[in-house]
Structure 1
């Protein structure tokens, strides 16, 4: 079932659409429907920020708070997290917490500890992290 919609456009835009429609041997309506269809598809497929659910993050934050607060270095932190079934991995310009099955749980910053904060505290970049320059950029 089709529905009719009225679209108000400046005369120059209508003239441009008529020219394109003539060049492509189609109608102005078909051009507009195609443009709207592509835009709707793009919007539904657009990447969204990977925000962890607060109902998941809050218990993780509580479970790992002492480990994140008292770790003396990257190896110590990874060992502490591993004992609880987690590990940190590089994720873009920061870190993400993964469970030992490999599922991403949240960003390190969601737990209150950004990569830059941990680098400053441990006086070293995360082992193997591709953004090592961030350590010297402070």
Structure 2
């Protein structure tokens, strides 16, 4: 059994997850991803540095959220302090699969990466997770 089994497999995947719970990573450290459903929308809250290793840890949870076939997905980036090209790739691939809404505010390092790459003109960025959730709800109607 992996740390994601309770969140991503069996009957739990069909039900709305309960309150946000902190998972532990492979090394016992807090997981960089939390998954929950708010108002019928899948929400992932990411934190820390999003590099290749962390993106690999997030991917199973992201795939499970997408397997729930949401009309839209919210990713809260307000706790992300760094992102590299693997994080950008993950966001773009997710954007191609569903209506993706990102909530900030973005850390200055992450904001700069988005500006340099031009990704902010492609993705739906919002000032807060609440604003992202509201926009996602509007796309579901």
TM-score range, shorter chain: under 0.3
| Normalised TM-score (structure 1) | 0.28
TM-score of the two chains, using structure 2 as the length reference: 0.28
- Structure with the larger RCO, 1 or 2 (CA within 8 Å, 6+ apart): 2
Structure number with the higher strand fraction is 2
